[in-house]
Amino acid sequence: MTDRVNSVVNSGRIPEVPRCHSRGFSQWNENFTSSDHPSIVQILIDSNKQKAVDIDGNALPTLVYMAREKKPQKQHHFKAGSLNALIRVSSVISNSPIIMNVDCDMYSNNSESIRDALCFFLDEEQGQDIGFVQYPQNFENVVHNDIYGHPINVVNELDHPCLDGWGGMCYYGTGCFHRREALCGRIYSQEYKEDWTRVAGRTEDANELEEMGRSLVTCTYEHNTIWGIEKGVRYGCPLEDVTTGLQIQCRGWRSVYYNPKRKGFLGMTPTSLGQILVLYKRWTEGFLQISLSRYSPFLLGHGKIKLGLQMGYSVCGFWAVNSFPTLYYVTIPSLCFLNGISLFPEKTSPWFIPFAYVMVAAYSCSLAESLQCGDSAVEWWNAQRMWLIRRITSYLLATIDTFRRILGISESGFNLTVKVTDLQALERYKKGMMEFGSFSAMFVILTTVALLNLACMVLGISRVLLQEGPGGLETLFLQAVLCVLIVAINSPVYEALFLRRDKGSLPASVARVSICFVLPLCILSICK
């Protein structure tokens, strides 16, 4: 690229080939912006031409550049609208029966991924009803003992294969191979047979195809059509990919989950806590909106997909409501411990055993699964921390926003995930330091809970030892253990509050707001 730019500067003119490649922008002028411009379709490499070869003489596939028309007053439906535009343009240029979907921040890591996916579709005995083949999401920038505890291995090796066993993995939105007919609304039937010889009629030349393509991606093309409703990727939900996959399965198609040893696709995951929490808020809000709408797996999928698959979807669908019991368990028992109020059975009570068994069994099983999938004990501990953080921040705000939307107080939005990370922040991530850096309502909630439990632990233990002696902990043992565990799991928060002075530490404004919430509760307990 540098050599080409220097060549143009030195010669004072643009060579014919680059000029040809940029002719699609001939309509562009200074008044157009990224949100206001006409449709652009240009065939950069035409596989029908003999010149479409690489430096070794190997034939190259057709390569098309497309930018759909955008107008400020017209709804463009974000990623879903882009995918539907690509589906239509590809139908007149190649009309391939299989469509591959990969996000802009991911790349192919396995040269055999396309062949492997096609093997499923081409299976004459079991491949006719496959609607899409989904590869798992994997990330190249996740470090060992990741501070954010991304549960990639457990999810990819245990959770998703279970869904696949019930007849369908959900559609991720990336790393997926779709059957065009299934994606475009066809209902599966026993008589259906894929025509693998079907291709687009290429009697037109490239200019005519480009003109046809431009007409398919205008702002008004989808008006009064079933695009985004019954055809293509669905509109109207932050998780358009999940509803699209569910609709495909409800039309009789099944999906396949394929997780080879060499990862098919790799991407970049956010490396700051704020980005991660925003991402999970969008996912959780989208799942809850689906579960409370007519597209709920139990309503849309009734009699169409297996009950086990409906329940599998709903595990994610009701993530958000976990926020309320979790918020209760990280606040009320600690406040009661500070005030000397017992909520759980004493160690000597027979009822102590069920409480202890549930806690030990649940976390032992979780740890065993994590170790079985190749994670370390530190990664498991970090994952438990992130589950707690997500539940009291992302999940809580997602639930509130969902019900605000249902009541008509606010409209559903679309939060884009930041793809660029500061180099200093990346270095801190590699050192196992959580990245905060800015004021956020989520950080206020997290810091308030952390400071509340720290105060309850210190003041509560001091009160018991001074007033009742060590024996006073007998009746409050489980609450004391819970409070200590919450303090231990929030150690990165205390580090960012009290010890760190870098740009990724918690701002003083977050600490001040949190103290304003915690201080009155502690004063009331001490002065009662």
446 pLDDT band, cuts 50/70/90, is very high
CA separation, residue 427 to residues 140, 248, 430, 472 (Å) = 15, 43, 5, 46
User: Has residue 312 been placed in a domain?
Assistant: no
Flag whether pLDDT at 484 surpasses 60.
yes
Q: What pLDDT sits at residue 57?
A: 77
Where is 45: in which H helix or E strand?
Answer: strand 40-45
Residue 125 lies in a domain: yes
- Residues written for the chain: 528
Between the CA atoms of 267, 271, 277 and 283, what dihedral angle is there, to the nearest 10 degrees?
A: 0
Structure tokens at 92: 């007149």
| Same-domain status, 208 and 148 | yes
Beta bridge partners of 267: 106, 139
- Spatial neighbors of 44 by CB under 8 A, at least 6 apart, are 21, 63, 64, 65
User: Buried (b) or exposed (e) across 130-151, using 16+ Cβ within 10 A?
Assistant: bbbbbbbbbbeebeeebbbbbb
Question: Are residue 135 and residue 229 in the same domain, yes or no?
Answer: yes
Q: How confident is the model at residue 204 (pLDDT cuts 50, 70, 90)?
A: confident
Task: Identify whether residues 237 and 338 lie together within a single domain.
Answer: no
Q: Of the residues 228, 250, 269, which one is the last residue of a structural domain? A: 269
pLDDT at position 7 is 64
For residue 448, the enclosing domain spans 321-343+389-527
Q: Is residue 27 part of a domain?
A: yes
User: Is pLDDT above 90 for 361?
Assistant: yes
DSSP-derived secondary structure for 261-305:
SS-SEEE----SHHHHHHHHHHHHHHHHHHHTSTT-HHHHTTTTS
Beta strands in 168-252 (DSSP E): 176-179
CA distances in angstroms from 95 to 34, 91, 98, 100, 229, listed in the order given: 28, 4, 9, 13, 21
Rg (the chain; Cα; Å): 28
- Looking at residue 21, what is its pLDDT? 58
pLDDT of residue 419: 53
Q: Is the pLDDT of residue 13 over 60?
A: no
Residue-wise pLDDT for 33-88, tens only, equals 888 888 999 988 888 776 777 777 788 888 899 999 998 888 888 899 999 999 99
Residues 130 and 239 grouped into a single domain: yes
Same domain, 416 and 493: yes
pTM of the model: 0.87
Domain boundary among 227, 250, 269: 269
**Residues 264 and 325 occupy one common structural domain:** no
Give the highest mean pLDDT range of 22-31, 155-164, 277-286, 349-358.
Answer: 277-286
- Domain annotation covers residue 147: yes
Residue 204 maps to which CATH number?
Answer: 3.90.550
Interval 232-246: pLDDT, tens:
999 988 788 999 999
Residues 224 and 338 in one domain: no
Q: Higher pLDDT residue, 50 or 256?
A: 256
Band the pLDDT of 24: cuts 50, 70, 90: low
How far is it, in rounded angstroms, from Cα 131 to Cα 77? 23
Q: What is the pLDDT of residue 245?
A: 94
Q: Over 70: is that where the pLDDT of 416 sits?
A: no
The reply to whether 328 and 429 lie within a common domain is yes
Same domain, 419 and 510: yes
- pLDDT score recorded for residue 29: 72
User: Which amino acid, 8?
Assistant: V
Report whether 347 belongs to an annotated binding site.
no
Q: From CA 342, how far away is CA 477, in angstroms rounded?
A: 9
Q: Specify if 382 maps to a domain.
A: no
**pLDDT(97) > 80:** yes
Distance CA 321, CA 450 (A): 21
Q: Report if residue 357 sits inside a domain.
A: no
The pLDDT value given to residue 12:
55
What is the pLDDT of the chain when averaged over all its residues?
87
User: Is residue 379 included in any domain, yes or no?
Assistant: no
User: Measured at the alpha carbon of residue 328, what is the angle toward residues 146 and 362, in degrees to the nearest 5?
Assistant: 55
φ, ψ of residue 460 to 5 degrees: the values are: -65, -45
Please tell me the distance from the alpha carbon of residue 151 to that of residue 155, in angstroms, as a whole number: 6
- Shared-domain flag, residues 200 and 135: yes
Number of domains in the chain: 2
CA 311 to CA 332: how far, in whole Å?
Answer: 31
> What's the rounded Cα separation, in Å, for the pair 282 and 288?
10
- Mean pLDDT, residues 201-230 taken together: 87
Dist CA 45 CA 18 (whole Å): 13
pLDDT per residue over 260-315, tens digit each?
A: 999 999 998 888 999 999 999 999 999 999 999 888 999 999 999 999 999 999 88
Number of Cβ within a 10 Å radius of residue 369: 17
Burial of 228 (0-12, 13-18, 19+ CB in 10 A): buried
Whether residues 259 and 325 fall in one domain:
no
Last residue within a domain, chosen from 248, 269, 290: 269
Same structural domain for residues 326 and 218?
no
More confident residue, 25 or 492: 492
Smallest Cα–Cα separation from 245: which of 137, 315, 154, 164? Answer: 164
Q: What is the mean pLDDT of residues 345-356?
A: 85
Does position 449 have pLDDT exceeding 90, yes or no?
yes
Query: Which amino acid appears at position 503 of this protein?
Result: K
User: What is the pLDDT at residue 30?
Assistant: 75
Instruction: Of 86, 269, 240, 268, give the one whose Cα is nearest residue 171.
Output: 240
Phi, psi of 53 (to 5 degrees): -135, 160
36 is in an annotated binding site: no
At residue 506, the pLDDT reads: 94
Q: Is the pLDDT at 3 greater than 70, yes or no?
A: no
How sure is the predictor about 183, in pLDDT bands with cuts at 50, 70 and 90?
A: very high
Residue 412 reports pLDDT greater than 60: no
pLDDT tens-digit series, residues 112-154: 999 999 999 999 888 999 999 999 999 998 998 999 988 788 9
Strand partners, 254: 130
43 in any annotated domain: yes
